[in-house]
Amino acid sequence: MNHSLEVRNLHVSIDGQAILKGFNLTVPKGEVHALMGPNGTGKSTLAKVMAGHEDYTVESGEVLLNGVNILGQEPDEISHAGLFLAFQYPMEIPGVSIANFIRAAKQARLPEGEEINAIEYYKDLYAKMDALKMDRKFTARSLNEGFSGGEKKRCEILQMAMLDPKYCVMDETDSGLDIDALRIVSEGVNHMRSENRAFLVITHYQRLLDYIVPDVVHVMFDGRIVHSGDKELAKELESKGYDWVKEAFATASA
Amino acid sequence: MSDTDLQDQAIQVDTEKGNFKYPENYEFDAGIGLTEDTVKYISDVKDDPDWVREFRLKALEVFKKKPMPTKWADKDLENIDFDKIRYYLSKGQQPARSWDDVPDDVKETFERLGIPEQERKFLAGVEAQFDSEASYSRMKEDLEKEGVIFVGSSEGLAEYPEIFKPYFGKVIPTADNKFSALNSATFSGGSFIYVPKGVKLKQPLQAYFRINAENFGQFERTLIIADEDSEITYMEGCTAPKFETATLHSAVVELVALKNAKIQYITVQNWSSNVFNLVTKRGMADEGAEVKWIDCNIGSRLTMKYPGVVLKGKGARGEVLSIALANDGQHQDTGAKMMHLADNTTSNIISKSISIGKGRSTYRGQVHMPKHLKNCKNNTECDALLINTNSRTDTYPAITTRGQNNTVQHEASVSKVSAEQIFYMMQRGLSEGEAMSLAVNGFVNELMKAFPMEYSVELKRLIDMEMEGSVG
A206 occurs within a structural domain: yes
DSSP conformational letter for A139: G
The pLDDT of residue B6 is: 34
Interface touch B430/A104, C-beta < 8 Å: yes
- Would you say B190 and B159 are in contact if contact means Cβ atoms under 8 Å apart? no
Alpha-carbon span B264 to B305, nearest angstrom: 17
A16 occurs within a structural domain: yes
The pLDDT of residue A1 is: 61
Mean pLDDT of all residues belonging to chain B: 88
- The SS3 assignment for B140 reads coil
pLDDT in tens, B349-372: 999 999 988 899 999 999 999 889
Closest CA relative to residue B45, chosen from B131, B104, B128, B132: B132
A32 occurs within a structural domain: yes
The pLDDT of residue B16 is: 59
Q: Is residue B12's pLDDT more than 60?
A: no
The pLDDT of residue B389 is: 62
Count of domains forming chain A: 1
Instruction: Please give the share of chain B, as a percent, with pLDDT higher than 70.
Output: 94
**String of b and e for B154-188 (b: at least 16 CB within 10 Å)?**
bbbbbeeeebbeebbbebbebbbbbbbbbbbbbbb
pLDDT band at B1 (very low <50, low <70, confident <90, very high): very low
The pLDDT of residue B245 is: 77
pLDDT in tens, B60-115: 999 999 999 988 899 999 999 999 999 999 887 778 888 888 888 888 888 887 78
The pLDDT of residue B307 is: 98
Alpha-carbon span B349 to A202, nearest angstrom: 48
- The SS3 assignment for A102 reads helix
Q: Which residues of A fall within a CB distance of 8 Å from B424?
A: 87, 90-91, 93
**Domain interval for residue A187:** 4-91+164-253
Q: Is residue B7's pLDDT more than 80?
A: no
Q: Which residues of A fall within a CB distance of 8 Å from B420?
A: 91
Backbone angles phi, psi at B251, to 5 degrees: -100, 160
Q: What is the dihedral of CA B79, B16, B298, A105, to 10 degrees?
A: -140
Alpha-carbon span B164 to B465, nearest angstrom: 41
- The C-alpha R_g of chain A, in whole angstroms, comes to 18
The pLDDT of residue B428 is: 98
Question: What number is the ipTM of this complex?
Answer: 0.96
Neighbouring-strand partners of residue B256: B225, B284
pTM of the predicted structure, to 2 decimals? 0.83
A140 occurs within a structural domain: no
- DSSP E strands, B98-220: 125-130, 133-139, 149-152, 191-195, 205-210, 217-218
pLDDT band at B11 (very low <50, low <70, confident <90, very high): very low
Q: Which residues of A fall within a CB distance of 8 Å from B425?
A: 91, 93, 101, 105
| Most confident residue range from A179-193, B52-66, B138-152 | B52-66
Of the two residues B414 and B194, the one the predictor is more confident about is: B194
Residue B375 neighbours by CB distance under 10 Å: 15
pLDDT in tens, B331-354: 999 999 999 999 999 999 999 999
For residue B1, the chain A residue with the least C-alpha distance is A118
DSSP conformational letter for A81: T
Residue B15 neighbours by CB distance under 10 Å: 20
Alpha-carbon span B211 to B234, nearest angstrom: 20
Surface of A (51-110) touching B: CB under 8 A: 51-54, 74-76, 78-80, 84-85, 87, 90-96, 100-102, 104-106, 108-109
The pLDDT of residue B414 is: 87
How many angstroms separate the CA of residue B334 from the nearest CA in chain A? 23
pLDDT in tens, B243-264: 777 889 999 999 999 999 999 9
Taking 50 as the pLDDT cut, the residues of chain A under it are 254
> Region B206-223: what's the mean pLDDT?
90
Q: Is B2 on the interface with A (CB under 8 A)?
A: yes
The pLDDT of residue A246 is: 81
Task: Provide the greatest CA pair distance for chain A.
Answer: 59
A139 occurs within a structural domain: no
A111 occurs within a structural domain: no
pLDDT band at B460 (very low <50, low <70, confident <90, very high): confident
A98 occurs within a structural domain: no
Instruction: Please give the share of chain B, as a percent, with pLDDT higher than 90.
Output: 56
The pLDDT of residue B357 is: 83
Q: What is the DSSP string of B33-100?
A: S--HHHHHHHHHHHT--HHHHHHHHHHHHHHHHSPPGGGTS-GGGGG--GGG-B--EES-SSPBSSGG
How many angstroms separate the CA of residue B432 from the nearest CA in chain A? 8
Alpha-carbon span B277 to B324, nearest angstrom: 13
